[in-house]
């Protein structure tokens, strides 16, 4: 009887210990393309980069990438659908916390005119507008090779870059400050 009691007590202790450890490391259920106030899915402004990387590989294992990207900054990237558009989601940092999150159309689109580019932007922006409300500010910037229309909805800056020479339209949504760029260039 003492031997059975000891075995039961040991089994109960192991079960309780396993339950305790499981509670110490909670499972995180994150939709990879969920639009949030501070980012998309697990890629959130201010989140620890290594934690975001682990979560990204968990929720988007088939397309997740992490490494050195644009401008030498560390980045995490994966693909998915936002509304009707196939997009790439990317988080960047120059340190240990995410500083910038960007959502871009997976491929640069062709457009016959800047107005077509703006229509593409408006379709792309629909899920963001649904989540954060109508554009609260909008402005244009003319650069040597492009004309850019920027518009803000809540915490997100939506950009349509029209390249006249190639009829290319680059559309993106951006959370946070651009690394290496003054915040004034983002309309803040």
Instruction: Provide the 8-state DSSP code for 179.
Output: T
Scanning the structure block, which residue is given the tokens 């989140």?
Answer: 47
Domain-wise residue ranges, the chain: 35-178
Tens digits of residue pLDDT in 71-104: 889 999 999 999 999 999 999 998 899 999 999 9
Quote the pTM value.
Answer: 0.78
pLDDT of residue 33: 96
7 band by pLDDT with thresholds 50, 70 and 90: very low
172 band by pLDDT with thresholds 50, 70 and 90: very high
What are the helix (H) ranges across 43-135? 49-59, 114-132
In angstroms, the first-to-last Cα distance of the chain is 74
- Cβ-Cβ contacts under 8 Å for 94 (sequence gap 6 or more): 73, 74, 179
179 band by pLDDT with thresholds 50, 70 and 90: low
pLDDT of residue 70: 73
Tens digits of residue pLDDT in 109-145: 888 899 999 999 999 999 999 999 999 999 999 999 9
Of the two residues 28 and 105, the one the predictor is more confident about is 105
User: Is residue 29 classed as helix, strand or coil in its secondary structure?
Assistant: coil
pLDDT of residue 2: 52
5 band by pLDDT with thresholds 50, 70 and 90: very low
10 band by pLDDT with thresholds 50, 70 and 90: very low
pLDDT of residue 28: 53
């Amino acid at each position: 009887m003492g031997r059975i009691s000891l075995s039961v007590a040991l089994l109960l202790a192991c079960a309780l210990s396993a339950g305790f450890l499981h509670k110490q490391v909670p499972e995180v259920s994150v939709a990879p393309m969920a639009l949030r106030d501070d980012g998309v899915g697990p890629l959130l402004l201010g989140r620890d980069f290594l934690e975001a990387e682990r979560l990204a590989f968990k929720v988007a294992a088939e397309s997740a990438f992490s490494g050195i990207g644009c401008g030498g900054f560390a980045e995490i990237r994966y693909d998915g659908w936002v509304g009707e558009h196939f997009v790439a989601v990317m988080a960047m940092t120059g340190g240990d916390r995410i500083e910038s999150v960007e959502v871009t159309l997976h491929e640069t689109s062709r457009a016959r005119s800047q107005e077509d580019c703006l229509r593409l932007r408006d379709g792309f922006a629909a899920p963001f507008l649904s989540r954060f409300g109508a554009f609260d500010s909008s402005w244009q910037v003319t650069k040597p090779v492009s004309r850019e229309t920027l518009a803000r909805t809540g915490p997100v800056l939506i950009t349509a870059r029209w390249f006249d020479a190639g009829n290319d339209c680059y559309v993106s949504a951006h959370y946070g400050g651009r690394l290496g760029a003054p915040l004034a260039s983002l309309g803040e």
